[in-house]
Structure formats: structure tokens, C-alpha cells
Amino acid sequence: MKFLVDVNVLCEPTKSLASDKVKAWLKANRDDCVVDAIVMAEIWRGIVALPDGQKKRDLSMWFARLKAEIPCLDWTLETALEWGPVVTKVKRSGFTIEIRDTLIAANAKRHNLTVATRNVDDFTRCGAKVVNPFV
């Protein structure tokens, strides 16, 4: 595994006007991708918040396939210990970043993975290696 895939990349193919670049990147790197449990929680939160209907059913089935197909990194004590320095680095730089992104960055750093995301600036500020499949 080489890449920890962020929500914006992972969900892109579900959009009606999905980026061809992202779809191609995901296909080319499929065997080298993992997700963080926090990424999966973000996606599931979005799905369960949808009103009942076809879109919710379709995304629920997509999510079930996703869970079966992509490895998911758990959050461990070792990752938690990596998180402290990540948050400290961000705070000392004077920036504010969503806590979930600092948690994802810590897990990527812990496993020496590159974060695949459109949110390059925040993950770079966390000290994570980053690739942007949208460009």
C-alpha cells in the first residue's frame, strides 16, 4: 500500500460529473490504496443523513462494496501518539485545520503513506506527503 485515500477522492466516482482524472487515478492505483476508519465514518455519516430514496439506497450499496474491497486502517495507540506532533505543528504554524484531517494525516504518517486528496494545503501543513489526483 502506498496511498491513504481521502473522502473527496474516494467519493468522486459517485458524482454524476465525476473527474475522469480521478477515476483513472483510482483505477491505476487500486491495489496501492487504503482508507482510514475516519474517512469511512465521514462517508457513512453523509449517507445516513440523506433522505430515504434511490440515491441513499445506491450510495449504501456502493459503500457496502467499498468496505469489502478497500483495506481500512484502524486508529491505534501508535497513531494517536503520532497525532500530537501533527496538531502541534499545525497550531504553531498559525493555521486551523479540521480535526478529522489531522487524525487522517497522523495515520498516513504512522504508516508512511501518501494522502491522495484535493485538500493539498491542509495535509501538507500537517506534514503528510500528498498527491492530488484531480490535477
Q: Residue 102 belongs to a domain with what CATH number?
A: 3.40.50.1010
Domain range holding 34? 3-131
Helix, strand, or coil (residue 127): coil
Rounded to whole angstroms, the Cα distance separating 116 from 104 reads 11
Rounded to whole angstroms, the Cα distance separating 33 from 25 reads 11
* Contact status, residue 47 vs residue 62, Cβ threshold 8 Å: no
Name beta bridge partners: 54: none
* pLDDT tens, residue by residue, 79-132: 999 999 999 999 999 999 999 999 999 999 999 999 999 999 999 999 999 999
pLDDT score for 106: 98
Name beta bridge partners: 24: none
**Overall domain count for the chain:** 1
pTM score, whole prediction: 0.94
